[in-house]
């Protein structure tokens, strides 16, 4: 590590400080990462005190990788936002062998492979982090956040002793810039001790290790974080600059371990579904003996090149899946049944419970799913019921307990016939279990819509959370989404609201103003149209380019978009057939909330534009799906059937009947090499001369 020093600093001081840093960092790694301590406590303390004295006498020699930096820094006013260069996306879940087999088959089908080696890792119940190292020294640590943006918690992460401030090894072997990802957790044994100390100090006990870890990492005063015995496992290489990436995930883990990062020793490779299931079974067996919480096993395709080919679907990687353990259950009393009205009018019942601990979390309310589920399982107020956390996250009422004893006056629950918010009669169609309020001016629906509109995954309006989303409509400040962009005209009135204050109001108005620059897909998703998620919002944005374009789209135009089916197309047309919704779009445009999608169209000059392809057989360098996506990106059309209108058949190995049909119909057949040249170099394959024309 090179750093600037005062020219008057004695060379022996600089050298001794560097020696002490290396010795202490090495001792920390051996103790916290490799569980092989080299120095006893007295020796470690002696070196640390000597280094502290040297740095106090010569502040100019202090460096970012010094172990003295672990003691914490002065309190921060807040956390800076960090944009992740590569999003930290969520994982899809499966809960049994059939679900895992289906995921693995989808991945292999996409890749058109018979098998792909995998890596199994324990799913640590902690907090995900991304740590950037520059020239081997920690530069920044950020929380996962919403996957795209997190919080800068560098000062706090420096206090975690299992996290290297400086990576080990030859400088030539460490990439100039790289990001390592991992999970911060609080060991179970340390959690118990921490709670004992809090109780002795008269402070409330923490609920579970995960929440304690999250709260500890988000302390504005890192000296407080330093008092918490946090630990960390690294589980992935985020990105590398200036060096070659390993070829596989397992190689990346080995590299991280070689650099001094702590990886989980349980991790194992698997080549078959059977080997994965054996690993999952073992994880279940050792779960209770671990000093940290796990809620499943993460399975990843090992090859990084295959991971890149698989890519993502929505916000989930196709190359990884989480196998979740069965949910933990507990019994408690169902005190009362309540009904919420969602932003789409859905009436969702929930149970008010006697609080009970499930999987380390105190649960006081849980979902009851829908009207039919309550009737089918005959849930009643006062019942003793079994609850669980679905996927170890969402509490739900499972069934009436076998130990339940009902009083003589117990009555079946009567689901409301009218909306609890606006008293409009509810409806339930034959093809869905959801009971709905169809009043588009229903206050409860609008409050939920407003909260969704402002959420981080939508328009990301700071200060417009649940409480404010309820207060603004109820107090007459807004009656439509467009009204939030008029709130700056009523700043004085907002200042009169309870618990707002000038700072809160200013932050709210700044957040609203900043949201004007959100891209069109975010705005389309924020409108809360049933069936329009973040991915379909992207498709609509690319096709129609503006709010007006989407508003005026016909059902035929919508159905022409790959991924948009009849149900979503009809829903969209029906949504924009309602005058209030059309007026909302017009109001937003008039108020300047009118993002335009200027993503470049496929080049009209590319020879594939407007050309119809069929891809068949097994390709060597890509899957059929990848080939089809490439065709579409250049304006071509990829179909599944060979007809007289097909321009090119791309034939891989074992092409089969489609090749026979293409020959019968005189469709131009090309191989993979010709296809790649066509796509990447605009080289249009020439049709070989037939024997008859050659003889002529």
Q: Which residues are catalytic?
A: 123
Directed axis angle between helix 443-454 and helix 466-474, to 10°? Answer: 140
Pairing, β 118-124 against β 329-341: unpaired
Place of tokens 């849980």: 366
In 509-620, where do the E strands start and end?
Answer: 612-616
The DSSP call for residue 273 is H
Q: Which two tokens stand for residue 670?
A: 């090309």
Count the Cβ atoms, other than its own, within 10 Å of residue 582.
14
Separation CA 94–CA 321 (nearest Å): 7
Place of tokens 């899957």: 623
Q: Which two tokens stand for residue 482?
A: 């467009």
Which distant-in-sequence residues (6+ apart) come within 8 Å of 313 by Cβ? 535
Compute the Cα dihedral for 169, 171, 175, 179 and give only its sign: positive
Among 329, 420, 322, 304, smallest CA distance to 371 is for: 420
Separation CA 663–CA 661 (nearest Å): 5
CB 119 within 8 A of CB 256: no
Separation CA 682–CA 603 (nearest Å): 11
Count the Cβ atoms, other than its own, within 10 Å of residue 415.
17
Pairing, β 127-134 against β 118-124: unpaired
CB 572 within 8 A of CB 551: no
Q: Which two tokens stand for residue 485?
A: 């962009």
Which distant-in-sequence residues (6+ apart) come within 8 Å of 552 by Cβ? 576
Place of tokens 């920690």: 138
Pairing, β 426-427 against β 435-437: antiparallel
| Measured CA distances, 256 to 138, 235, 298 (Å) | 14, 9, 18
CB 210 within 8 A of CB 185: yes
CA 682 to chain centre: 37
Among 654, 653, 650, smallest CA distance to 677 is for: 650
CB 360 within 8 A of CB 212: no
Q: Which two tokens stand for residue 617?
A: 């057989």
CB 302 within 8 A of CB 118: yes
Pairing, β 320-324 against β 294-301: antiparallel
Q: Which helix (H) or strand (E) holds 334?
A: strand 329-341
Separation CA 233–CA 261 (nearest Å): 8
Burial of 368 from C-beta contacts in 10 A (0-12 / 13-18 / 19+):
buried
CA-CA-CA-CA torsion for 236, 237, 239, 241, nearest 10 degrees? 170
The DSSP call for residue 33 is I
Write down how long the chain is: 696
CB 341 within 8 A of CB 129: no
Separation CA 129–CA 55 (nearest Å): 30
Alpha helical stretches, state H, 601-652: 624-633
């Amino acid at each position: 590590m090179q750093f600037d020093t005062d020219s008057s600093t004695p060379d022996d001081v600089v050298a001794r400080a560097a020696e002490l840093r290396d010795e202490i960092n090495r001792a920390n790694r051996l103790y916290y990462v490799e569980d092989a301590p080299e120095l006893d406590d007295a020796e470690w303390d002696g070196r640390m005190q000597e280094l502290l004295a040297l740095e106090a006498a010569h502040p100019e020699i202090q460096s970012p990788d010094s172990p003295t930096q672990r003691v914490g820094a002065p309190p921060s006013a807040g956390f800076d936002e960090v944009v992740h260069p590569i999003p930290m996306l969520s994982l899809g879940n499966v809960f049994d062998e059939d679900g895992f087999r289906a995921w693995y088959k989808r991945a292999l089908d996409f890749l058109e492979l018979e098998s792909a080696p995998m890596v199994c890792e324990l799913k640590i119940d902690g907090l995900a982090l991304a740590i950037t190292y520059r020239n081997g020294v920690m530069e920044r640590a950020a929380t996962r956040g919403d996957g795209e943006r997190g919080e800068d918690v560098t000062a706090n992460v420096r206090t975690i002793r299992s996290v290297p401030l400086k990576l080990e090894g030859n400088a030539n072997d460490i990439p100039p810039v790289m990001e390592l990802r991992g999970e911060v957790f609080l060991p179970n044994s340390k959690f118990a001790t921490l709670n004992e100390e809090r109780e002795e100090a008269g402070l409330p006990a923490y609920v579970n290790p995960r929440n304690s870890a999250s709260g500890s990492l988000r302390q504005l005063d890192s000296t407080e974080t330093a008092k918490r015995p946090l630990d960390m496992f690294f589980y992935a290489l985020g990105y590398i600059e200036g060096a070659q990436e390993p070829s596989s995930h397992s190689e990346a883990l080995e590299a991280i371990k070689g650099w001094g990062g702590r990886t989980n020793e349980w991790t194992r490779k698997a080549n078959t579904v059977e080997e994965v299931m054996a690993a999952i079974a073992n994880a279940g067996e050792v779960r209770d003996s671990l000093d940290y919480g796990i809620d499943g096993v993460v399975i990843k395709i090992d090859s990084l090149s295959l991971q890149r080919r698989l890519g993502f679907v929505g916000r989930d990687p196709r190359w990884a899946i989480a196998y979740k353990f069965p949910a933990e259950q507990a019994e408690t009393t169902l005190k009362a049944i309540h009904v919420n009205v969602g932003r789409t009018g859905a009436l969702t019942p929930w149970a008010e419970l006697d609080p009970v601990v499930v999987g380390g979390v105190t649960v006081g309310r849980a979902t009851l799913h829908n009207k039919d589920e309550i009737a089918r399982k005959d849930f009643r107020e006062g019942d003793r019921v079994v609850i669980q956390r679905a996927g170890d996250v969402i509490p739900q009422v499972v069934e009436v307990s076998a130990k339940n004893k009902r009083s003589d006056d117990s009555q079946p629950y009567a689901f409301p016939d009218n909306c609890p918010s606006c008293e409009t009669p509810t409806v339930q169609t034959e093809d869905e279990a959801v009971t709905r309020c169809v009043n588009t001016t229903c206050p409860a629906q609008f409050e939920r819509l407003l909260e969704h509109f402002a959420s981080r995954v939508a328009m990301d309006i700071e200060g417009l959370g649940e409480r404010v989303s309820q207060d603004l409509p109820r107090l007459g400040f807004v009656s439509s989404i467009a009204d939030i962009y008029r709130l700056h005209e009523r700043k004085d009135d907002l200042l009169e609201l309870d618990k707002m204050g000038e700072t809160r109001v200013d932050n709210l108005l700044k957040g609203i103003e900043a949201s004007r620059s959100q891209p069109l897909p975010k705005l389309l998703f924020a409108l809360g149209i049933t069936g329009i998620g973040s991915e379909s919002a992207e498709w609509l944005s690319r096709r129609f380019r503006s709010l007006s374009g989407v508003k005026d789209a016909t059902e035929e135009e919508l159905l022409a978009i790959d991924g948009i089916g009849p149900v979503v197309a009809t829903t969209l047309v029906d949504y924009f057939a309602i005058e209030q919704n059309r007026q909302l779009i017009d109001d937003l445009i008039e108020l300047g909330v009118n993002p335009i999608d200027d993503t470049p169209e496929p080049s009209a000059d590319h020879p594939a534009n407007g050309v119809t392809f069929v891809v068949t057989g097994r390709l060597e360098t890509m899957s059929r799906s990848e080939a089809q996506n490439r065709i579409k990106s250049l304006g071509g059309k990829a179909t599944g059937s060979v007809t007289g209108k097909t321009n090119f058949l791309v034939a891989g190995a074992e092409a089969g009947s489609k090749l026979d049909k293409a020959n019968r119909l005189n469709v131009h057949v090309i191989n993979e090499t010709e296809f790649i040249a066509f796509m990447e170099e605009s080289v249009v394959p020439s049709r070989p001369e037939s024997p008859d024309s050659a003889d002529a």
